[in-house]
Structure formats: structure tokens, C-alpha cells
Structure 1
Amino acid sequence: MSTNKVTIVPVKLDPLPTESTTFRSSYDIASPSCVIKTAVAEIAFFNGVDERIIQTIMKELKSR
């Protein structure tokens, strides 16, 4: 069994908006470099995101 220390990174998935608004934040204006769509979520990665966060999310998706 592996004895490597596991780092848990909290991740919050925001629900897709059902209504469009006239105000657009800078988050909405920037386009993601990668988008993963599943049956229950849409995950967007932007340039500059830490690689550990991507690895953690991918491991969680793989285990489901």
C-alpha cells in the first residue's frame, strides 16, 4: 500500500445558470482553455490553473 501523503483540494462546482443576465463578470468574459462536460456538471479550466487542481479533479472524475 502506498504511503504517499494525499492532498485534498476543495473544489466547488457552480450550477449552470438558467437565466441570462446583462452583467458579465471578468470570469464570464475570459474563455476557458479546456471544458469537461458530464451529465451533471460542466468543469472549465482557465490558463494559469495549478496542475495539482487539474490532477485532483481528473482523479475524482475517474473514480466515479
Structure 2
Amino acid sequence: MPTNKLTIVPVSLDPQPTKVSTSISSVATVAPNCVIKTALAEISLFNGVDEHIIQTILRELKEQ
């Protein structure tokens, strides 16, 4: 198994706009499949999220 150096890039999320676009149906709301709550953050994971993203999140939580 090759060992590649992992690079973790910090990201920040912009708040969701309060106005709903007309192209988005307000009836079809998407709920997260998994929510991880810590003292510092709340992480919501949705259906279809890439497995590598989940592994990175869990690795970062383990190191805290």
C-alpha cells in the first residue's frame, strides 16, 4: 500500500442565505443522515458524502 503524505486544508463555510431561491423547492428539505456534536462544532453528514471526507473528519476528531 503506497503511503502518500496527506494534506489537510482548512476551510470555512459561509452561512446559508436567508432567502430561498425560486429554483429550490421549499417542500423538499434535506435532513442529514448523521450529526456529530462536539464541544466546539456540530458536523452534519448527508447521503452521498465521499468516504474520504468522513475518514478525514473522524481522523481530525480523534486527534483532538
Question: How would you bin the TM-score normalised by the shorter chain?
Answer: 0.5 to 0.7
TM-score using structure 2 length: 0.64
CA deviation after TM superposition for structure 1 residue 15, in Å: 8.6
Indicate yes or no: 2:7 matched with 1:8.
yes
Task: Compare the two structures and name the one with the higher helix fraction.
Answer: 1
TM-score using structure 1 length: 0.64
Percent sequence identity is 47
- Superposed counterparts of 1:1-64, under 5 Å: 4-8=3-7, 10=9, 12=11, 14=13, 23=19, 29-64=29-64
RMSD of equivalent CA atoms = 2.7
* Count of aligned residue pairs for this structure pair: 55
- Structure 1 ranges of 4+ moved more than 6 A: none
Provide the C-alpha distance between the structure 1 equivalents of 2:12 and 2:38, rounded to a whole number of angstroms: 12
